[in-house]
Amino acid sequence: MQKLIIVSGSPCVGKSAAADLLYQAYENSAYLDGDWCWCVHPFSVEDPRLREGDKAMSAVLSNYLRLDFDYVVFCSVVAMYENIREAILRDITAAGFETVGFTLTCTEETLRQRHKKRGDQNECSFEWLRLPPYPGDHVIHTDGKSPREVAAEMKIIIDSLED
């Protein structure tokens, strides 16, 4: 059965890097960094115009699933919010796939260090770090781990579901 793998978490927690490595670890896979569908300034999760970004994510994921990729890896900060993730999933028009969710997290100190290393001029926010994981997600703490180690940990979990 096709797998839609959702990777969510705070900015700078390692989502994009780990998700990119995860998709490369599987043959016949596709990858969408959903945050590009929400790349606006100023950013506000409450901006009603961003519902169109949600629909864009659903459309791309639908296409990947209809094109018979075995693994579709999707990462996004906003997939942490239940109402947003559920709307994205509800609008996927493909059928017959299994969803596996991951919430990546780390300590505030690790997030500060990663934010500083990234060179981001924005203030480091802990808002997303403090959100509860999406119900049913596998939670992975990324402190002291490389993106390759996080991807490997996710892959072990995904592969164990196929046994």
pLDDT at 89: 97
For range 138-154, the mean pLDDT: 97
Q: What is the pLDDT of residue 128?
A: 83
Q: Tens of pLDDT along 7-66?
A: 999 888 999 999 999 999 999 999 999 888 876 677 677 777 777 788 999 999 999 999
* Residue numbers of the domain that contains 47: 2-161
Question: Does the structure show a pLDDT above 80 at 70?
Answer: yes
What is the C-alpha separation between 36 and 135, in angstroms, rounded? 24
CATH code of 67's domain: 3.40.50.300
CB atoms within 10 A of CB 18: 28
pLDDT of residue 47: 78
pLDDT tens digits, 98-132: 999 999 999 999 998 888 887 766 677 788 888 99
* Strand, coil or helix: 81: coil
- 148 contact partners, CB below 8 Å, separation of at least 6: 18, 21
Higher confidence at residue 42 or residue 1? 1
Q: How many domains does the chain have?
A: 1
Tokens of 127: 């808002």
What whole-number distance in Å separates Cα of residue 125 and Cα of residue 91? 30
State the pTM of this model: 0.91
pLDDT in tens, 71-107: 999 999 889 999 999 999 999 999 999 999 999 999 9
Rounded Cα distance between 107 and 98, Å, is 30
Single out the residue of 48, 50, 46, 41 nearest to residue 121, CA to CA: 41
